[in-house]
């Protein structure tokens, strides 16, 4: 039986692959746009397609893991992700790339939450913060190596190699899981909530498709607005159904737990604003400042380096201040870090940009670790399966919204100026909007009781 740290490290290999892919692809976007004959801002659909698919399929991950076994599903998900990555690298059009990114999202939807379930179901409450630290620290190697590796691969071998790099990582992950992770217990989750899954999936897909295409001229007139309206309508129907269903696709009663509610709802606002930064920074440095992909990737690497440096500090900080005070104060600092991107100009020294990005990554990383732990800190083990699916969706959906937020802010600024090419001033507006969204999470964190997650953090409020 592997130790908690060994299990966390093995599961983290899957997170490493996903994070490596996400951060490397962003750095390669300008090169992909030139090769495929597309506008760089429109290439955001290659990211949102993956994230939307990830979000749509995550709610069913807990049911499938219970029904067929978490280890078996985890293996299948890694294999599917690796195969889809290879096909993304072979794509010769934006349509083909988007399709295989959707398949990647299906694999990721099973891979990440089911891997987390494998870990959480085998540990005690007092081990949770340590396990989450061990889980996220190796996974942070993806964002750290992604920007410079993505830039280097793009300049040396072309953007397709950014996807091919996932294949050996997937093979290694399959070998480790098959060798070290014991078979998981099969459970009878009952019949799936097919109606709820269809309503929820349709709502997410329609709303995000409308949000991504509105004002872009990609679809015929009125289609984006129709998709947005359909997404809202289906979302209302999905919520009404899940309030009445005996085994809903999304268990809304989980939101009655204060820590889970804050991590899910307020955490989504934080992730949306913070998630715009990895998209905006490489685009600003390459499109706005005229840097090369390798140079931009090496500087963007500072954000992930700061995030990785925070991981060993998270536990003593949370023990000293608790989840509530940490999240409230650190969210303000994180918002300032995002807003600092609005000040970047070509005249800034590279070292200064690197330092600002590293400090911003430090602040955002503390919140991510706190949120990922707080979500499950006060949930009983019997509800972990439902919680991982719900939280996984809430964790991934903001990533798609963040890219849409960034691209929409850029398009709006460019439209307001009445000029065709993106300039640094357009990115200034986008960074400010993202910082305001981060700051909007503060009231949700303030609403938590002071003792939320105390069994995990070890903090005892007066």
Q: Is the pLDDT of residue 355 over 90?
A: yes
Q: Comparing 266 with 315, which gets the higher pLDDT? A: 266
Average pLDDT (88-92) is 90
What does the pLDDT look like over 316-337, one tens digit per residue?
999 999 999 999 999 999 999 9
Name the percent of the chain lying above pLDDT 90: 29
Compare 357 and 127 and report the one with higher pLDDT.
357
Separation of alpha carbons 231 and 113, rounded Å = 24
Mean pLDDT of the region 232-243: 93
What does the pLDDT average to over 221-236? 90
Least confident of 79-93, 100-114, 146-160: 146-160
pTM metric for this prediction: 0.78
Q: List pLDDT tens digits, range 91-145.
A: 888 888 889 999 998 898 888 778 877 777 767 776 777 777 766 665 556 666 6
Residue 188: pLDDT over 70: no
pLDDT over threshold 50, residue 79? yes
The predicted pLDDT at position 446 comes to: 96
Residue 16 confidence (pLDDT) above 60: yes
The pLDDT of residue 62? 74
Q: What is the pLDDT of residue 53?
A: 81
Predicted confidence at residue 92, as pLDDT, reads: 87
Segment 157-187, tens digit of pLDDT: 888 988 998 898 889 888 888 887 777 666 6
Please tell me the CATH code under which domain 4-192+249-457 is placed. 1.20.1250.20
Residue 407's pLDDT is 84
Residue 399: band (very low, low, confident or very high) from pLDDT cuts 50, 70, 90: confident
pLDDT-derived band of residue 149, with 50, 70 and 90 as boundaries? confident
How many residues in the chain? Answer: 462
Under a CB-based contact definition with an 8 Å cutoff, are residues 111 and 74 in contact?
yes
| 3-state DSSP of the chain | CCCHHHHHHHHHHHHHHHHHHHHHHHHHHHHHHHHHCCCHHHHHHHHHHHHHHHHHHHHHHHHHHHHHCHHHHHHHHHHHHHHHHHHHHCCCCHHHHHHHHHHHHHHHHHHHHHHHHHHHCCCCHHHHHHHHHHHHHHHCHHHHHHHHHHHHHHHHHCCHHHHHCHHHHHHHHHHHHHHHCCCCCCCCCCCCCHHHHHHHHHHHHHHHHHHHHCCCCCCCCCHHHHHHHHHHHHHHHHHHHHHHCCCCCCCHHHHHCHHHHHHHHHHHHHHHHHHCHHHHHHHHHHHHCCCCHHHHHHHHHHHHHHHHHHHHHHHHHHHHHHHHHHHHHHHHHHHHHHHHHHHCCCCCCHHHHHHHHHHHHHHHHHHHHHHHHHHHHCCCHHHHHHHHHHHHHHHHHHHHHHHHHHHHHHHHHHHHHCCCCCCHHHHHHHHHHHHHHHHCCHHHHHCCCCCCCHHHHCCCCC
Contact 456, 126 (CB under 8 A): yes
Is 436's pLDDT higher than 90? yes
Give the model confidence (pLDDT) of 296-310 as tens digits.
878 877 887 888 788
152 contact partners, CB below 8 Å, separation of at least 6: 293, 294, 297
The torsion angles phi and psi of 440, rounded to 5 degrees, stand at -65, -15
> What's the confidence (pLDDT) of residue 181?
78
pLDDT band at 81 (very low <50, low <70, confident <90, very high): very high
The per-residue pLDDT for 5 is 66
Q: Are 307 and 143 spatial neighbours (Cβ–Cβ below 8 Å)?
A: yes
> Is the pLDDT assigned to residue 462 strictly greater than 70?
no
For 401-413, write each residue's pLDDT tens digit.
Answer: 888 888 888 888 8
Q: What are the structural domain ranges in the chain?
A: 4-192+249-457, 193-248
pLDDT digits (tens, 9 = 90+) for 248-278: 888 899 999 999 999 999 999 999 999 899 8
Mean pLDDT for the chain? 84
Tell me, rounded to whole angstroms, the distance of Cα 17 from its chain centroid: 13
């Amino acid at each position: 039986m592997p130790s908690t740290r060994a299990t966390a490290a093995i599961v983290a290999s899957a997170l490493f692959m996903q994070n490596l892919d996400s951060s490397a692809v962003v750095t390669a976007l300008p090169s992909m746009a030139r090769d495929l004959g597309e506008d760089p801002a429109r290439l955001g659909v290659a990211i949102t397609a993956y994230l939307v698919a990830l979000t749509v399929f995550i709610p069913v991950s807990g049911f499938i893991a219970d029904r067929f076994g978490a280890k078996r599903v985890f293996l299948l998900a890694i294999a599917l992700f690796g195969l889809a990555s290879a096909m993304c690298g072979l794509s010769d059009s934006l349509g083909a790339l988007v399709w295989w990114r959707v398949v990647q999202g299906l694999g990721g939807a099973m891979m990440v939450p089911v891997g987390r379930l494998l870990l959480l179901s085998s540990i005690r409450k007092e081990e949770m913060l340590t396990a989450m630290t061990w889980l996220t620290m190796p996974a942070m190697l993806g964002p750290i190596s992604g920007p410079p590796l993505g830039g280097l691969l793009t300049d040396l071998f072309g953007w397709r190699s950014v996807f091919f790099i996932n294949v050996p990582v997937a093979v290694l992950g399959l070998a480790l899981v098959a060798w070290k992770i014991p078979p998981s217990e099969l459970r009878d989750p009952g019949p799936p909530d097919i109606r709820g899954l269809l309503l929820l999936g349709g709502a997410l897909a329609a709303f995000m498709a409308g949000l991504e295409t509105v004002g872009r001229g990609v679809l015929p007139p009125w289609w984006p607005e129709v998709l947005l309206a359909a997404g809202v309508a289906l979302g209302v129907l999905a919520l009404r159904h899940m309030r009445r269903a005996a085994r809903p696709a999304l268990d809304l009663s989980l939101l009655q737990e204060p820590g889970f509610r804050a991590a899910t709802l307020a955490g989504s606002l934080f992730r949306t604003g913070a998630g715009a930064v990895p998209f905006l920074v490489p685009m600003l440095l390459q499109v706005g400042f005229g840097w090369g992909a390798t140079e931009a990737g090496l500087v963007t690497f500072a954000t992930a380096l700061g995030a990785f440096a925070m991981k060993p500090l998270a536990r003593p900080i949370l023990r000293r201040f608790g989840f509530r005070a940490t999240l409230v104060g650190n969210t303000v600092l994180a918002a300032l870090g995002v807003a600092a991107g609005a000040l970047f100009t070509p005249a800034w020294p590279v070292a200064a940009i690197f330092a600002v990005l590293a400090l911003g990554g430090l602040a955002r990383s503390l919140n991510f670790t706190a949120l990922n732990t707080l979500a499950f800190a006060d949930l009983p083990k019997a509800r972990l399966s439902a919680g991982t699916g719900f939280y996984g969706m809430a964790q991934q959906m903001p990533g798609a919204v963040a890219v849409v937020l960034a691209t929409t802010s850029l398009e709006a600024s460019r439209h307001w100026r009445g000029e065709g090419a993106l300039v640094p001033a357009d990115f200034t507006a986008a960074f400010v909007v993202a910082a305001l969204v981060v700051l909007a999470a503060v009231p949700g964190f303030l609403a938590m009781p002071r003792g939320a997650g105390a069994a995990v953090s070890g903090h005892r409020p007066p």
